[in-house]
Structure 1
Amino acid sequence: MTNTLIVGSGPTGLTLAIELARRGVDLRIIERSPQPPTGVRGKGLQPRTLEVFDDLGVIDEILATGREYPVLRSYQGDQVVWEGRMDEIRDASEGVPYPNLIMQPQWRTEQILRDRLAELGHQVEFGVELTGFEQDDASVTAQLSTGERVDCAYLVGADGGRSTVRKQLGVGFAGETHESERMLLADIRTGDLDREHWHVWGSPAEQTLHFTLCPLPNTDVFQLVAPYTGDDDLVGLVAEHAPHVRIDEIVWRSEYRVNIRMAERFRVGRVFLAGDAAHVHTPAGGQGLNTGVQDAYNLGWKLAIGSEALLETYEDERMAVAEHVLGLSTRLYREKDSKRGDDTNQLGLAYLGSPLSVGERGGDRLGTLFEEQRGTGFLLLADTAAEYPFKVLPPLDGQEGVILVRPDGYIGYHGDESGLSAYLSGFGIVEPRSDAAR
């Protein structure tokens, strides 16, 4: 029997697959599309996501092929009227090793993650669709479009905003779809613009944005984003507002409706929802893809351990975060705020109030010792003579009590050592399986 069946191979599903694979957990990941997508779609990787990608072993390739966001250059016709940044370039520090938003087309992010998953011995099964499933207290039985029936301990729906998994569970998807607020996305080629600027026609602040053309790193493609007015003529749109720019080729295009929704449950029995299957956002602030990666990073180590008390914390922790992030991205969208920084980098997100967060710093991101945290295990910061099945390091300067750092970099327990055993046994925490990743 397969331990976990993952439905969907976007960044969320792939992150979860890597998390499980490097712990030696048996898994399958299926994708109904016959081949990987080619469109840019999401392109911003937040600092917290970069920390996750460091831990997963893909950060070098992400940084080598991506770039920091370019300077915005605003035009009226062919005349430059303003230049400026949407984010402040910051220097790395001990507490923030990846301080800047990195631009990386989603198709390449997914390719890098698929390559990492292949190193760990697993492949995405393309052209395979989930057609139905049943579950009981002991397992889930999934029916695939190939006719195969798969028995698994857990099933995870990472299959997007139109999630088959969520619909079959009967979980509501509360929120709004704004039919009148649509955007056109396209990947285009043109030789008439430099690739060092993000080119903008119209004023976002005055809500008169006509279109933007953003050069994608290590490609010859620009991503075009424009409000959708019912006219599909991208060539005519560009010619009207920027007659000096000629579109040589439209490589890919899609229409986007503004959706703001969150699932009413992130878990039903042995079935979990993550990423866009659980929450969909406006594009403002670049939160959607990144929040999905964090869902998977939270869920992966809990599935590997598999205790009921631990799995129960997934919904509690991630629903609170999703609600906060949805509120943030909605506010930025309504205010037409294109700035990036502390509000959007996801470094300040925490699991305060979670049953898994105990003590003064329980639920906080540790924010240091990143090299020591790499891998699949817990980290214990304590001056102790006792033996624990974790990596043990001396306490931080000024630290009182012991600190147990979860595999996802957040503090689980902070308090007297005398209470640690009860905490560990209460959540069924044992040392994860061998670290095959590093």
Structure 2
Amino acid sequence: MTNVVIVGAGPTGLTLACGLARQGVAVRVLERATAHADGSRGKTLNPRSLEIFADLGLAGELAAVGRTHLPFRKYFEGVFVNETEPFAGARRSATIPYPASRWLQQPQLEALLRERLAALGVTVELGADLVDVRQDADGAEAVLADGRRIAAGYLVGCDGGRSTVRKLLGIPFVGEGDPEPVMVCGDVEVEGLDPGAWHQWFGPQGAFMLCPFEGSPRWQLQASPETAADGTMVPPSLESFQRLADTHTGREDIRLGNATWLSTWRVNVRMAERYREGRVLLAGDCAHVHPTAGGLGMNTGIQDSWNLAWKLGHVVRGLAGPALLDTYQEERLPIAAWTLDVTSAGMAAVVKGIDTPGIGVEVGGVGDFTGLSLGYRWSSLAAGTPAGGDPGALLRAGDRAPDGPCPGPDGAPGRLFERFAGDDFTLLVLGAGTRPDLAGLPGHVRPVRVEDRDGEVRRAYGVTGEALVLVRPDNHIALVTPATEPGPVHAYLARLGATG
């Protein structure tokens, strides 16, 4: 029997599979499609997702694809108005290694994740069509259309907004949606445009946008639908796309070709009522869908998986009790609710701006679309206040743990994120003279002494003097306590069931 079955091989399912397989958890990934999807689909990884993939060992591979800076070139009724670049001033800092999003095609990311997963001994199983999910107190079972039954300790649905897993569980998908398509999408090749910018035409007739991809002839097209004489929507096609281009740009030199991934998009703002039913859990679009504003869809699913992977892995490995899985919904459902709110507000801002010269899709970024400020201060896993007991400190338990300098034992340069990488808790011992009694720490908690003579790391973490900072495997702060009081660290770990 495998430990975990994952249904769905998009970014959410693949991230979860990598996070589990890296821990030695036996995992199987089932994908209903008989071939890997090729449409460009999601096209940005925000800074928080880039940190996650760096932890998974993909920093170098991702740096070789896509781009980090993409100007937004905006037109109104066919006339150029201005050009902006959301991350023009973004610079790497001591605490933020990835200050800008990376633009790439979703299939590029999925291919890298499958390669990483294969290196961990797991291959995606194509043509595995799930038709039923059964479970009892001891495990779950995936029933496939070809009659196969796959037993597992847990099953996770990562199978998208129309999730079979969620429907089989009978979990309500609460919210609302527009029954009519509000956008047509596709991948096309383009002649006559500079591939160094995302071209966005707005005006009374709606929106028409062409986004290029670095090192590829493919552009992603998004546009208000073409309407037939009888008022019905014209289905997406190369011919329809060309007519839309002619209408919105007013130019005859822009020619489109090789149209693929023809699709329509409807506004849906929905969230699963719960993320867990016994030994079955939901993640990504299976648990929440929302407007495209801010590019948070793929990133939110990836970050769901990052939260779930260490918890499910620790439970399977016997390092924590099953109650730890309850904190997955506790932490991620409020993030989904926030995402639905900010993307809805962002989409409303974009729609309102269609009739305003100089407005582009950046007005949809009404919240933190970097993901760096999102944390879990409300969580039962966020223990107490920062060192010194200051409840007004900028950084608190539940927040993302910042990066910072952390030389190795031999004095060689290093970074905190390099020390965090992996599946263990990290216990930062801050202060040149700090020598607390750390006897009895479980084997999956690694102490890291940070001399921090100039106080740079302590300032980043909002602590004074000498302190202990316990960082979770997903790089969020569990607790901060004075170095002279290591007892809270032991108590925290014991509460999770991590006693040895």
Please confirm whether the aligned pair reaches a TM-score higher than 0.5, indicating the same fold.
yes
What amino acid sits opposite 2:244 in the alignment?
Answer: L
SS at match of 1:404: strand
SS at match of 1:218: coil
Partners of 1:89 and 1:39 in 2: CA distance:
31
What is the match of residue 234 of structure 2?
Answer: 231
2:437·2:486 contact (CA, 8 Å) conserved in 1? no
What is the match of residue 402 of structure 1?
Answer: 468
Partners of 1:83 and 1:255 in 2: CA distance:
27
Scaled by the length of structure 1, the TM-score of the pair is: 0.93
1:75·1:201 contact (CA, 8 Å) conserved in 2? yes
Partners of 1:301 and 1:157 in 2: CA distance:
17
1:89·1:100 contact (CA, 8 Å) conserved in 2? no
CA apart distance, 1:79: 4.5
Q: Summarize the alignment of residues 193-272 of structure 1 with structure 2, pairs less than 5 Å apart.
A: 193-203=193-203, 208-228=205-225, 229=227, 230-232=233-235, 233-242=240-249, 243-272=252-281
Partners of 1:77 and 1:422 in 2: CA distance:
64
The worse-fitting range, judged by mean Cα deviation, of 153-162 and 171-180 is 171-180
Partners of 2:376 and 2:313 in 1: CA distance:
20
What is the match of residue 178 of structure 2?
Answer: 178
CA apart distance, 1:285: 0.4
CA apart distance, 1:148: 1.3
**69 and 231 in structure 1: CA distance in 2 versus 1, 3 angstrom threshold:** farther
Whether 1:119 aligns to 2:133 is no
Q: How many residues align?
A: 428
What is the match of residue 345 of structure 2?
Answer: 331
SS at match of 2:293: coil
What amino acid sits opposite 1:425 in the alignment?
Answer: A
> 5+ unaligned residues in a row in structure 1: which ranges?
432-438
**392 and 342 in structure 1: CA distance in 2 versus 1, 3 angstrom threshold:** farther
Write the deviation string for residues 226-260 of structure 1: whole angstroms up to 9, x where unpaired. Answer: 01241231121112233321112213211111111
Partners of 2:283 and 2:265 in 1: CA distance:
21
Q: Summarize the alignment of residues 355-394 of structure 1 with structure 2, pairs less than 5 Å apart.
A: 355-360=380-385, 361-368=396-403, 369-382=416-429, 383=434, 384-387=436-439, 388=441, 389=443, 390-394=445-449
Partners of 1:372 and 1:8 in 2: CA distance:
31
Scaled by the length of structure 2, the TM-score of the pair is: 0.82
What amino acid sits opposite 2:234 in the alignment?
Answer: D
Write the deviation string for residues 356-387 of structure 1: whole angstroms up to 9, x where unpaired. Answer: 11021210111121111111211002342323
What amino acid sits opposite 1:370 in the alignment?
Answer: F
Please report the RMSD computed on the Cα atoms of aligned residues, expressed in angstroms. Answer: 1.8
Partners of 2:306 and 2:292 in 1: CA distance:
22
Write the deviation string for residues 165-195 of structure 1: whole angstroms up to 9, x where unpaired. Answer: 1111110000111124521111001221121
What is the match of residue 357 of structure 2?
Answer: none
Partners of 1:88 and 1:280 in 2: CA distance:
29
Q: Summarize the alignment of residues 278-293 of structure 1 with structure 2, pairs less than 5 Å apart.
A: 278-293=287-302
**399 and 97 in structure 1: CA distance in 2 versus 1, 3 angstrom threshold:** farther
Write the deviation string for residues 35-70 of structure 1: whole angstroms up to 9, x where unpaired. Answer: 110101110110000000100111211121110242
Following TM superposition, the consecutive aligned residue runs of length 4 or more in structure 1 with deviations greater than 4 angstroms are 76-79, 339-342
CA apart distance, 1:331: 0.8
SS at match of 1:297: helix
What is the match of residue 412 of structure 1?
Answer: 478
Partners of 2:5 and 2:348 in 1: CA distance:
38
SS at match of 2:381: coil
Q: Summarize the alignment of residues 347-362 of structure 1 with structure 2, pairs less than 5 Å apart.
A: 347-360=372-385, 361-362=396-397
What is the match of residue 45 of structure 2?
Answer: 45
The worse-fitting range, judged by mean Cα deviation, of 119-128 and 226-235 is 226-235
The alignment-based identity, stated in percent, is 41
The worse-fitting range, judged by mean Cα deviation, of 191-200 and 276-285 is 191-200
Partners of 2:224 and 2:158 in 1: CA distance:
28
What is the match of residue 33 of structure 1?
Answer: 33
Write the deviation string for residues 251-292 of structure 1: whole angstroms up to 9, x where unpaired. Answer: 321111111110000011110000000000100001110010
**193 and 386 in structure 1: CA distance in 2 versus 1, 3 angstrom threshold:** same
Partners of 1:257 and 1:78 in 2: CA distance:
25
Partners of 1:111 and 1:399 in 2: CA distance:
46
Partners of 2:219 and 2:77 in 1: CA distance:
18
1:309·1:428 contact (CA, 8 Å) conserved in 2? no
Write the deviation string for residues 121-173 of structure 1: whole angstroms up to 9, x where unpaired. Answer: 11100110111021111111221123111111000000000011111111000
Partners of 1:176 and 1:88 in 2: CA distance:
36
What is the match of residue 496 of structure 2?
Answer: 427
The worse-fitting range, judged by mean Cα deviation, of 225-234 and 258-267 is 225-234
SS at match of 1:247: strand
CA apart distance, 1:341: 8.4
> 5+ unaligned residues in a row in structure 2: which ranges?
228-232, 316-320, 351-360, 386-395, 404-415, 451-456, 459-463
SS at match of 2:299: helix
CA apart distance, 1:116: 0.8
CA apart distance, 1:430: 6.1
SS at match of 1:151: strand
Partners of 1:401 and 1:70 in 2: CA distance:
41
1:143·1:150 contact (CA, 8 Å) conserved in 2? yes
What amino acid sits opposite 2:38 in the alignment?
Answer: T
Partners of 1:182 and 1:358 in 2: CA distance:
45
What amino acid sits opposite 2:438 in the alignment?
Answer: A
SS at match of 1:159: coil
Partners of 1:400 and 1:310 in 2: CA distance:
30
SS at match of 2:262: strand
